[in-house]
Structure 1
Amino acid sequence: MASDTTSKQPEAQKGILGWIEKTGNALPDPVFIFFYLILALVVISVVLSLLGVSVQLNDQILAGLGEAGRARFGIGDDGVISVASLLSPANIQQLLTQMPSTFTHFHPLGYVLVVMLGAGVAERAGLFGTAMRAGVRNAPKFLLTPVVALIAMLGNHAADAGYVVLIPLAGVLYAAAGRHPVAGIAAAFAGVSGGFSANIAPGQLDALLFGITQAGVDLLNPNYLVNIAGNTYFIIGLLALYLPIIWYVTDRIIEPRLGKWTGGVAPGGEADQDDDPNAPLTDGQRKGLKWAGIATLGVIGVWVFLTIGPGTPLYNESADSVTAALAPLFTSLVAGFFILFLAAGTAYGVCAGTIKNHRDLVGMMSKAMGDMAYYLVLAYAAAHFVAMFGWSNLGLITAVTGAEAIEASGMPLPLVLASLVLLTGFINLFVGSASAKWALLAPVFVPMFMLLGVSPEATTAAYRVGDSATNIITPLMVYFPLILVFARRWIPGFGLGSLTAIMVPYSVLMLIIGFIMMLGWVYLGWPLGPGAGVEYVAPAVGG
């Protein structure tokens, strides 16, 4: 029986969250928001360019940028970077000649489309709904949130795949348990994005961030080697604190507001799903789950073989650390998820009777891409906004100006790092890429804070807190529109303001707790990871 997804709309928020929801829902469609932002960006760039707004870069920053960076930002021999008008001939030419590549090179695009091809088959074949029903039928429903939040934070080792795999799965999981799927989406989004830096072990993000940190360190002390595990204890602490926050906000604030879910276990009215999550499985469904499990183990086995087998294509034996050596494995996980879901979904569908021939398989993949149509339109607009913001030089100028203000403030050490948390959180509302922001900020903050006696590992830790907490409340974060798509599949017409209002309590509490944790950690002088302290001691002169 097809599911009824016309569940009642959430009750209107009251107070500040009500204002956010009402105001946000009154905004134009996100596609046009980006269009208006681009127009505003053009006007600002033209005005500031005519006013001659510029920033003098010091030698450390210039050295960090290198010749390629200086050429990219149009920095002359005098070390001055100026605002570039987006109506200049060069930028107009760049916009018109690079429009296809600006869109197709938009980082999340490939991740989303590749993974959703496989996940769409697994979902429409009925694998997700049946597996979740089988898994949660006798499980305590109150444990769903901490389990989802924990898996979401640990899933950050899979990088961007966590957004396109774990978050929609959480919606299915909650619906299968008779709970509101949007609450599950919110909990998973908070874990994957708000808890982006929380984990139990270093991973791909650590390799990325500390590689950039090392470049900043080299501007001041090339002999100092950054510890790749330098934030291990800190990120474990974040996970321990963020887990109860997500649990409390989801179960005590968000889900009661959303109300009881009565729409069944399949989004979008898909057939071949039983509305009752406790209904017994058919023989075909049981057989399908068995063969889906075998297919899953087979794909995992192939990936293990490619990592440790002859030739080790997914393990870089020449790398100087285990994390760096596993970089090919981490990068391959998007392809791995695609193949895993495609294999498992096909195996289930053939056994359960939801896939009768290859045309059914192709049709399911086509429908999955159909669901991404809105995201493609919005990604086109977002890609051009992000690119044009970089072309205007406003990103680098803003980062440098903010850094100079903090340097001149004379604040105590803990507050200096806390200021970086807040500055990063604010900038993150406009520029979502963790690596892009850190590539701009690290050459400024890392050497500057080293001169103030702060270790590069501590500066990186402060950046991570601010970078993740505000991810979940800005529509400019590249995956925010995708989360909106996932929510709308369960509640048609779910608005931008509704999603923002739901995520605000997570963001505020995670930012406050992360802020306090950063202050306490620095004040107590605890090590941030193996061999990585909070303080930095400059080498003795002539030593």
Structure 2
Amino acid sequence: MQAVLSSIERVGNKLPHPFILFSILAAVVIVLSALLAFLGVSAVNPQTEAEVHVRSLISPEGLEFMLTSVVRNFVNFPPLGLILVVMFGIGLADKVGLMSTLMQVSVAKAPSSLLTFCVFLAGICGSIASDANYLILIPLAAMVYYSVGRHPIAGAAAAYAAAGAGFDASLFITVGDALFAGITTDAARLVDPDAYISPVDNYYFVACSVFVLATAGTLVIDKVVEPRLQRTLPLDKDFTTTVDHHELTTDEKRGLKRVGLATLVYLALILLTVLPEASPLRNEDGGLIPSPFLRSLVPLMFGYFVVIGLVYGITTGKIKNSKDVPQHMSEAASELAPTLVLFFAISQFIAYFKWSELGQFIAIEGSNILQSTGFTGLPLVFAFILMSTVLNVFMTSGSAQWALMAPVFVPMLMMIDFDPAFVLAMFRIGDSSTNIISPMSPYFSVALVYMQRYKPDMGLGTLIATMLPMAVTFLLAWSAFLMFWLSMGWPIGPGIYMMAS
């Protein structure tokens, strides 16, 4: 196992930074488009019967496009506005301490018989708090386990597995949902210029997945991981740590109650607006699928988090005047700086891919190969999930990995009638499961450090042996649940099925 880890780390360290990687890929697209255009390569779109010719970016028209569209490519990149708006709202709620308080309450107050299950629920849904999920929940779960006489490293492992391997599942709409939806929309427009993938297009499936993963994770932690830790790292005098119990203040308790009340009022107002058949948020036929309501979920989510952030911040004294609100929002937005830099490179790569018609050409030829070989349906679903899982070991940035895969696979699978939102659902499973066993993950070492508080001599081998059963369980359980979902014929989101037709 150590040799495998070393190999993964060695290969991963040789990969350039995602910004450099996408800059290189943009250059490859430029050269490849010129070569294929020179050879006169073309393909026939089976949906429109139109002949698609690859266009050279090293041509007068191509050079003009590249020089005049740089800013437009970046500004019009679909995930850009989505993730900024969502982060403004969620960031405000996070910076005033609401997210960390909710995690503490959900875990520290959990009944002992449901402790592991509650840790998984909190960790999986805690992805809405982004990095704070790891930094708060792992030490908190370890402390709570230790305080009730259970193995603290088992608690830390449960929290790490929930936050990492369950990252793409949640009961809430997250920043990741907005980000992935934007990238998928841009990729789908290589085939359909009017394509739009909503942040809730996977919601039915991922929300139900939370309980499946939490149940599977609980069984593995309680029946496999913790008994093994009791044998290999028994609780003894070598465990030296200070258990710090954080009691909620009166203001924090009052703030949570007011947040609950504000949530009910906000939901009631939305229902009063949406329920009438003449509501402007319904479509022309009076339905909700599709409708302006589904396209308004990002601003509605922004409004919700601003409301509860204000309520909690004012109650606890974290917001003392109006200046504190934009200050907290700007602090949250500043954490997106590395993502925005990466978006610049990704947006240029995808724009070149689209303009040169390489995207359509690869999609057409790839779909023809899939159809001619009969490699479609469930075998294709399994293969795609497995490929995403393996790639995730070496590229743990979900946005970078999906930006690399989506322009190729979304159009290709759309050609054989896969709904682009379903392609995203498959990717979510692979993108999450192996996060916790990849040395390339920035939180791999963070989890080890937290565990070493209880066992200073704990090494990488012990960490990987502890987390591997969780990674395999999440991959198999989540994949099996997707197969069950498909067999039942249920939509994975509002009006979204496996096949577009």
Same fold, TM-score > 0.5, yes or no: yes
Q: Which residue of 2 aligns with 1:469?
A: 429
> Over the residues paired in the alignment, what is the CA RMSD in angstroms?
5.0
2:5 corresponds to 1:14: no
Residue in structure 2 matching 1:332, options 273, 296, 308: 296
TM-score, structure 2 normalization: 0.64
Compute the displacement of 1:377 (Å).
Answer: 0.9
Q: Which residue of 2 aligns with 1:90?
A: 61
- Counterpart of 2:53, as a letter, is S
Residue in structure 1 matching 2:268, options 264, 288, 301: 301
Are the counterparts in 2 of residues 42 and 87 from structure 1 also a CA contact under 8 Å?
A: yes
- Counterpart of 1:419, as a letter, is L
1:525-536 mapped onto 2 (5 Å cutoff):
528-529=489-490
Residue in structure 2 matching 1:61, options 47, 56, 62: 47
- Secondary structure class of the residue paired with 1:62: coil
Change (3 A) 1:396 1:15: farther
- Counterpart of 2:10, as a letter, is K
Compute the displacement of 1:127 (Å).
Answer: 1.6
Compute the displacement of 1:34 (Å).
Answer: 1.5
Q: 1:503 & 1:91 partners in 2: Cα distance?
A: 49
Residue in structure 2 matching 1:40, options 25, 28, 37: 28
2:113 corresponds to 1:142: no
Q: 1:365 & 1:233 partners in 2: Cα distance?
A: 30
Are the counterparts in 1 of residues 42 and 54 from structure 2 also a CA contact under 8 Å?
A: yes
Q: Give deviations 1:118-172, integer Å, cap 9, x for gaps.
A: 22222221222223222321214411454257758xxxxxxxxxx7x36456434
Q: Which residue of 2 aligns with 1:189?
A: 167
Are the counterparts in 2 of residues 52 and 82 from structure 1 also a CA contact under 8 Å?
A: yes
Are the counterparts in 1 of residues 123 and 163 from structure 2 also a CA contact under 8 Å?
A: no
Residue in structure 1 matching 2:315, options 341, 344, 351: 351
Q: Give deviations 1:327-381, integer Å, cap 9, x for gaps.
A: 4333322222222222222222222122221222222112111111111111111
- Secondary structure class of the residue paired with 1:191: coil
Q: 1:461 & 1:339 partners in 2: Cα distance?
A: 25
Q: 1:297 & 1:52 partners in 2: Cα distance?
A: 61
Q: 2:407 & 2:448 partners in 1: Cα distance?
A: 34
Q: Which residue of 2 aligns with 1:323?
A: 289
Q: Which residue of 1 aligns with 2:415?
A: 444
Q: 2:467 & 2:59 partners in 1: Cα distance?
A: 39
Q: Give deviations 1:46-71, integer Å, cap 9, x for gaps.
A: 2333333333x16x4324xxxxxx5x
Compute the displacement of 1:322 (Å).
Answer: 4.8
Compute the displacement of 1:186 (Å).
Answer: 0.9
Are the counterparts in 2 of residues 284 and 352 from structure 1 also a CA contact under 8 Å?
A: yes
Gaps of 5+ in 2: 144-154, 175-180, 193-201, 234-241, 392-400, 450-463, 492-496
Change (3 A) 1:491 1:85: farther
Q: 2:210 & 2:92 partners in 1: Cα distance?
A: 33
Q: 1:474 & 1:432 partners in 2: Cα distance?
A: 18
- Counterpart of 2:373, as a letter, is S
Q: Which residue of 1 aligns with 2:349?
A: 385
2:39 corresponds to 1:51: yes
Are the counterparts in 1 of residues 363 and 409 from structure 2 also a CA contact under 8 Å?
A: no
Q: 1:520 & 1:339 partners in 2: Cα distance?
A: 35
Change (3 A) 1:505 1:136: closer
Deviates more, 1:335-344 or 1:178-187: 178-187
- Secondary structure class of the residue paired with 2:289: helix
Q: How many residues align?
A: 410
Compute the displacement of 1:114 (Å).
Answer: 1.0
- Counterpart of 2:335, as a letter, is D
Q: 1:334 & 1:489 partners in 2: Cα distance?
A: 32
- Secondary structure class of the residue paired with 1:356: coil
Are the counterparts in 2 of residues 418 and 519 from structure 1 also a CA contact under 8 Å?
A: no
Q: Which residue of 1 aligns with 2:455?
A: none
- Secondary structure class of the residue paired with 2:416: helix
Gaps of 5+ in 1: 1-12, 64-69, 71-78, 153-162, 197-204, 217-230, 260-274, 447-455, 476-482, 493-500, 537-543
Q: 1:373 & 1:149 partners in 2: Cα distance?
A: 25
Q: Which residue of 2 aligns with 1:113?
A: 84
Residue in structure 2 matching 1:418, options 359, 379, 399: 379
Compute the displacement of 1:507 (Å).
Answer: 8.1
Q: 1:377 & 1:143 partners in 2: Cα distance?
A: 38
Compute the displacement of 1:291 (Å).
Answer: 2.3
Change (3 A) 1:351 1:366: same
- Counterpart of 1:85, as a letter, is S
- Counterpart of 1:28, as a letter, is P
Residue in structure 1 matching 2:360, options 365, 372, 396: 396
Q: 1:191 & 1:183 partners in 2: Cα distance?
A: 12
Are the counterparts in 2 of residues 149 and 187 from structure 1 also a CA contact under 8 Å?
A: no
Q: 1:92 & 1:505 partners in 2: Cα distance?
A: 51
Q: 2:311 & 2:263 partners in 1: Cα distance?
A: 10
Are the counterparts in 2 of residues 425 and 466 from structure 1 also a CA contact under 8 Å?
A: no
Compute the displacement of 1:401 (Å).
Answer: 1.8
Change (3 A) 1:491 1:331: farther
Are the counterparts in 2 of residues 233 and 527 from structure 1 also a CA contact under 8 Å?
A: no
Q: 1:104 & 1:85 partners in 2: Cα distance?
A: 24
Are the counterparts in 2 of residues 114 and 338 from structure 1 also a CA contact under 8 Å?
A: yes
Change (3 A) 1:176 1:151: same
Q: Which residue of 1 aligns with 2:336?
A: 372
- Secondary structure class of the residue paired with 2:415: helix
Are the counterparts in 2 of residues 103 and 384 from structure 1 also a CA contact under 8 Å?
A: yes
Q: Give deviations 1:477-532, integer Å, cap 9, x for gaps.
A: xxxxxx9899999999xxxxxxxx9999988776667777888999xxx56359xx
- Counterpart of 2:266, as a letter, is V
Q: 1:293 & 1:513 partners in 2: Cα distance?
A: 33
Compute the displacement of 1:288 (Å).
Answer: 2.0
- Secondary structure class of the residue paired with 2:10: helix
Change (3 A) 1:469 1:398: farther
Q: 1:390 & 1:401 partners in 2: Cα distance?
A: 16
Change (3 A) 1:93 1:315: same
Change (3 A) 1:22 1:245: farther
Q: 1:473 & 1:48 partners in 2: Cα distance?
A: 38
Q: Which residue of 1 aligns with 2:454?
A: none
Residue in structure 1 matching 2:253, options 286, 294, 318: 286
Compute the displacement of 1:90 (Å).
Answer: 2.0
- Counterpart of 1:402, as a letter, is G
Are the counterparts in 2 of residues 176 and 277 from structure 1 also a CA contact under 8 Å?
A: no
